[in-house]
Amino acid sequence: MAALSQLKMNYMPGTASLIEDIDKKHLVLLRDGRTLIGFLRSIDQFANLVLHQTVERIHVGKKYGDIPRGIFVVRGENVVLLGEIDLEKESDTPLQQVSIEEILEEQRVEQQTKLENEKIKVQALKDRGLSIPRADTLDEY
């Protein structure tokens, strides 16, 4: 009953564990910026995750699109954070779901505008004699 779930035990009191999150729906944010939503089926000591019925969700502005991906095995070190999704509240969102094609198109457009803005900025700085080095072109010493 309800009380049973209330008495849910933590094996290692005072620590965080993913054991209680098993078989629940989670949102996982990865280091490369992807957002995955799926049922957490298995973990290990490195917090590698096995996600089931995973969906990759792309957000652009107020719209989002889901790409079904199936089963994911995520290496623990690539996870930024993850959190449980309340199944009852899941649909209670101001965001608007659109089709995959549309969201990919939106994403492309967003990326393009970002690049253009970046180019304008760099040009403006260059005109003033300043240059901000881009992180991927930095020399590593």
Partner 1 sequence: MTCLEGPHSNQGPDKSCGPMAPEEELVSSSQLEEEEEENEEEEEDLDPDLAPDLEEGVDEEEEDLGDPAILSAVTNTQRGLPSSPGIKASGALGMSPASLHFLWQTLDYLSPVPFRPTHPSTSSPVRHFGPRLLPPDPYVFCSPPTSWSPRFSHLTQLHPQHQRILQLQQHSRTPRSPAKKPWSRQSDAYANLMTRKEKDWVIKVQMVQLQSEKPCLDDYYYQNYYQKLEKKEADQELLGQRSKVESLKLVTPYIQKAEAYESVVRFEGSLGQVAMSTCFSPRRAIDAVPHGTPEPEIGAASSQRLRVLSWIEKMFLQLLEIEEGKKNGPPQSCYSEQQRNQVEKLFQALKTQEQSNLEETADGFLQVLSVRKGKALVARLLPFLPRDLAVSLLLAVIHHLPLLVKRDAADQVLQMLFKPLGKYISHLTFHELLQGLQGLMLLPPGSSERPVTVVLQNQFGISLLYALLSHGAKLVSLDPSLEEPSSDHTAWTDIVILIAWEIAQMPTASLAEPLTFPSNLLPLFCRHVDKQLVQQLEATMQLAWIY
Using CB under 8 A as the criterion, which residues of the chain lie in contact with partner 1 when the complex forms?
1-15, 17, 19-20, 22-23, 39, 41-45, 50, 52, 87
Q: Which residues contact 40 (CB under 8 A, 6 or more apart)?
A: 18, 21, 22, 23, 24, 25, 26, 49, 50, 51, 52, 82
Nearer to partner 1 among residue 26 and residue 106 (C-beta): 26
Helices of type H across the chain: 2-6, 100-127
Tell me the closest approach of the beta carbon of residue 16 to partner 1, in angstroms: 8
Distance in angstroms (rounded) separating the CA atoms of residues 27 and 85: 7
Ramachandran angles phi, psi of 44, nearest 5°: -145, -170
Tell me the closest approach of the beta carbon of residue 56 to partner 1, in angstroms: 19
Nearer to partner 1 among residue 73 and residue 109 (C-beta): 73
Nearer to partner 1 among residue 29 and residue 43 (C-beta): 43
Nearer to partner 1 among residue 15 and residue 131 (C-beta): 15
Tell me the closest approach of the beta carbon of residue 49 to partner 1, in angstroms: 11
